[in-house]
Chains A and B, each alone.
Chain A
Amino acid sequence: MSLGYYFLLPVIFSFLTPYFRKLGTSALRGSSVFLTFILFVQTLEYTGVSLPQISQFSVAPPIGIAFVLDNFSLLFLLIFTFSGFMVSLYMLWYFKANDNTNETRFYVFFNMLLAGSIGMILSCDIFNVYIFFEITGISSYALAAYNKDKLGLEAGIKYLIIGSIASIFIVFAIMLIYLQIGTVNIGLIAQRYSEIDPKIAVLIALMLFIGFGTKAELFPMNFWAPDIYQGSSSHVNGLFSAIVAKSYLFVFFHLFYLFGLNTKYTLLIMSLGAITFLVSEFTALNQKDIKRLFAYSTLGQLGILFMALASNSSDTISGALFHLASHSISKLLIFLVLGILISKFKSTKITIVGDFKSLFLSIVLIIGFLSILGIPPFSGFIGKILILKGFALSHNYIAIAFILLVSIVEAVYFFRLIALMLDKKRTKTSVPVGFVNYIVLSVLAILIVLFGVYPSLLTHYTDLATNALLQPHSYLQFALGVGL
């Protein structure tokens, strides 16, 4: 199967959603599950194939555009398609239990969010990346505002404004690149980046940094992010946290290493990541709104990822990628559970985690919490220890101390929630979970435990991904169309 299907299939499914709807709601929902399922299975097949793989559109790169899949993007592809599959299954329950007036449109945005994110990580043409950036962006604006209530619309508007700013920076950068070296192919840009006038090169780097950094929620460009999470539905937050933020992160670091910016800007990005982590974990302490709380938690984890991914050392990056995968799964799990709770209680106060009575939900939620905190035997622990180990090997003890100290702050609010759940004095209401959710949530929870006790399942891919990121030679060759 050609890589192009990763984009074309969701597009055609999106275009045809009105007709799926006419066949009935189950056809509509089933189509999305089917789509995400094929994408996921297809991605699994790629794990056994020698990479990179390339699939061109119309003309071979560097003139035309192609999708290139290397080991680095494979990891992200796995995460995205898996998360997408899980969410589409979850939506089977969601629209049964909640208002489904605009269900059709939801699936349009959902499919395209997935397609856009995947396109962003596959495309080897920076202008094409920008298009996918906008597709993901518009889908996320619409998904944020999807409920059409006051908060949702406010979130949508804010997201849209920020997205516009980011896109202006990115467009400007792309234009400058084209003006300088006459190409938009990432492989060619990477080859010729050093030939650009140094001052312009700095300007381009900064613009890309601001553009993708804003979307990837890096401090001090992330003041909007919690608002968006708070205003959106919980499953949408799951998508934002597991897929969207990670895709921007991918592009950020892909370009960062391909363009050789790692020599110059490592310290800047590491310290900004550290500040992101610090500020968000502290800020999370005061939150009363559960979605906003986990928004800050997401920001914090992204902060760690920024710190670790920018660190230039293969051990740390490998750990960071593990952490990234683990965080995606855990956050998805948490947001999906919260979705169930919010739809039951019609409230987003943090106290709702103390009000429900369901052993299953409690267990999976606690597994998610502990995993994010990095407590064994859950996957988050392996990620964290790998990151710390990486920092230790490069003798960066400040980073270790920083991560560990702030993690204690993180533990404060996570265990406050757990204590709330365990509080026997609260009156508990039983919550219907829904059959499909049992499957979805247990699959996620089992994965968290599995990666925790048998990490080589994942470290195999993270190591390959790290190599692909740090030695992008074969990727560049493929991006220039060699593999065709």
Chain B
Amino acid sequence: MNLKKEFRLKHIVLSLLSSALMLSILGLLSHVKTNLHKTVGDIVLSLNMQTATANAVTSVVTFFRGIDTVGEVTVLFLATTGIALMLSSTQRTYKKVVHQESFILDIGSKMLLNVIVLFGVYVIVHGHLSPGGGFQGGVVIATAFLLLFLANPNMKLKHSILTLGESLSGAAYVLIAIISLFKINILLGNFLPHPVSQIGELVSGGIIPIIYIIVGIKVGSEMSVIVEYFVKEDYLKEVPHA
């Protein structure tokens, strides 16, 4: 009882302190945006026409701050590898879950899969024209697989294909960056033709849609792998070693 009270006291003190801290910071932040200078974003917007990309955010993500995205993809890749390291079943055997098969669920999920994947592909492909892009689309695709797992926990993904997608797309991204170096002497430059007149069309913006497609493949496969590992953790029980 006493102990509990003490702990509560600690909580109260700490939360009061954090509130005080945040209030104080809040006071500071109230005059935060003073716009001393033109932001980089404003310059980017003014330059964006040259990239022939309708979506300025996409051009920032894949072009102006392209190396950020390479890093981001790498982070995701590392996380996937880490999760695979932790949760991969190569060192453990799982028993099959007794799963009550439901016809409707099975068929319904498989039907929905196509629709969802299609939507994901759409989001990816139109990343440079409308809100969305590789990351978003990739996650949409991964949700399709999540649906499959929810319907049938015993399902297995073909890891070799996913790894292929993951690795090759990543490598392709880097290769594009390097090819650009040879072509126009700038890493990750937009070396494909990207006439401004094409803005708003599906084929526009040079390498930007290609990069987003690559990112989409990569994110999609990685997220699927992550989803698979976590779903299996939830559904499948480990068989203790003899």
Contacts and interface: CB of A to CB of B under 8 A. Distances in A.
A–B touch (CB < 8 A): the answer is yes
Interface of A: 2, 4, 7-8, 11-12, 14-16, 18-19, 55-59, 62-65, 101-102, 105, 108-109, 112, 115, 119, 125, 127-128, 131-132, 134-135, 138-139, 141-142, 145-146, 148, 176, 178-185, 192, 195, 197, 199-200, 203
Nearest to B178: A8
Given A8-B174, A142-B78, A105 B84 contact: yes
Contact of B68 (A4, A112, A128, A138): A128
B233 interface: no
A181 B178 contact: no
Contacts of A178: 39
Contacts of B107: none
Contact of B187 (A16, A57, A131, A134): A57
A26 to B, nearest CB: 20
B74 interface: yes
A108 B166 CA distance: 13
Nearest to B35: A182
Contacts, number: 157
B138 interface: no
26 contacts: A12-B174, A14-B74, A14-B170, A57-B66, A57-B177, A57-B187, A59-B63, A64-B65, A108-B77, A108-B81, A109-B81, A115-B74, A128-B67, A128-B71, A131-B68, A132-B71, A135-B71, A135-B74, A135-B78, A142-B78, A142-B82, A180-B32, A180-B34, A182-B35, A195-B36, A203-B25
B158 interface: no
A39 to B, nearest CB: 15
Contacts of B91: 101
Given A101-B91, A203-B28, A127 B81 contact: no
Contacts of B32: 176, 179-180, 197, 200
A119 B68 CA distance: 11
Contacts of B68: 65, 127-128, 131
A197 B34 contact: yes
B21 to A, nearest CB: 11
A264 B128 CA distance: 46
Contact of B64 (A7, A58, A108, A142): A58
Contact of B78 (A55, A138, A181, A192): A138
A7 B68 CA distance: 11
Taking chain A's interface residues, is the majority helix, strand, or loop, or is none over half, making it mixed?
helix
A15 B77 contact: yes
Across the A-B interface, give the 8 residue pairs with the lowest CB-CB distance, nearest first: A182-B39, A15-B170, A131-B71, A142-B82, A4-B187, A57-B67, A12-B174, A138-B78
Contacts of A12: 170-171, 174-175
Q: Among B37, B84, B166, B175, which residue has the most Cβ atoms of chain A within 10 A?
A: B37
Interface string B53-71: 0000000000111111011
A343 B21 CA distance: 48
A105 B70 contact: no
Interface of B: 25, 28, 31-44, 47, 63-68, 70-72, 74-75, 77-79, 81-82, 84-86, 90-91, 163, 166-168, 170-171, 174-175, 177-178, 181, 186-190
A347 B188 CA distance: 48
Given A15-B167, A200-B28, A182 B37 contact: yes
Contacts of A7: 67, 70-71
Contact of A108 (B72, B78, B171, B190): B78
B160 to A, nearest CB: 9
A185 B41 CA distance: 12
A314 B72 CA distance: 37
A125 B68 CA distance: 10
B76 to A, nearest CB: 9
Given A131-B72, A182-B39, 18 more contacts: A4-B181, A15-B167, A58-B188, A63-B47, A102-B85, A109-B78, A127-B68, A131-B68, A135-B78, A145-B82, A148-B85, A179-B33, A180-B32, A181-B36, A182-B41, A197-B34, A199-B28, A203-B25
B83 to A, nearest CB: 9
B40 A138 contact: no
Contact of A11 (B25, B34, B36, B170): B170
A250 to B, nearest CB: 18
A197 B64 contact: no
Contact of B39 (A119, A131, A183): A183
Nearest to B33: A179
Contacts of A135: 71, 74-75, 78
A132 to B, nearest CB: 6
Nearest to A57: B67
Contact of A16 (B33, B43, B167): B167
A118 to B, nearest CB: 12
A383 B190 CA distance: 47
Contacts of B77: 14-15, 108
B40 A182 contact: yes
A91 to B, nearest CB: 16
A140 to B, nearest CB: 10
Contacts of A119: 71
Given A57-B66, A58-B190, A112 B177 contact: no
B64 A63 contact: yes
B171 A65 contact: no
Nearest to B69: A131
